Amino acid sequence: MKILMFYAPEFWFKTYQKVLDDVEEKDVEEKTANAIVVFYHVEAEDMEKRTNVLTKMIKNIKWLTGKFKTKNLVLHSFNHLSSSKAPPDFSHILIEDAKARLTSSGFKITETPFGYLNEWKIHVAGESLAKVFKEF
């Protein structure tokens, strides 16, 4: 898995185009503030190490949200961080599990619709930790 995280004083998105046939039709536009925006890419090899990947993803998200003292998260599937791609159904289930664990820890989660291209605007803070890349 690869994650690219940003501390965003402001993040806005709008659905643009559905790219997976088996996902629900959505027309969504949302804005959030004071959030950690997580661009995630689930790789094929993550299927073999699912529990470890899920634990590390959550640990890294909690670490960065703690640095910026926020419980606001944006999750965005961003399959451009690796040439290795897990099947969409596996990726979706893994992220649903991550969302459940994070929500139970008090996080407010905004998610760009899975299976859609989205347009977005992101204001990223200037601090060094406002931009973090992790792979595991």
CATH code of residue 24: 3.50.80.10
The number of folded domains in the chain is 1
Question: How much of the chain is in helix, strand and coil states, percent to nearest 5?
Answer: 30, 40, 30
Domain that holds residue 47: 2-135
Please report the pLDDT score of residue 79 as a whole number.
85
Please report the pLDDT score of residue 18 as a whole number.
95
Give counts: helices (H), strands (E), the chain. Answer: 2, 6
User: What 3-state class would DSSP assign to 80?
Assistant: coil
Please report the pLDDT score of residue 80 as a whole number.
87
Please state at what angle helix 88-104 crosses helix 50-67, rounded to 10 degrees: 50
Consecutive H or E run containing 52: helix 50-67
Q: Determine if the pTM surpasses 0.85.
A: yes
Q: Among 119, 115, 109, which Cα is nearest to 73's?
A: 109
Condensed to tens digits (0 to 9), the pLDDT of residues 117-128 reads 999 999 999 999
Residue segments in the chain with a per-residue pLDDT below the cut of 70: none
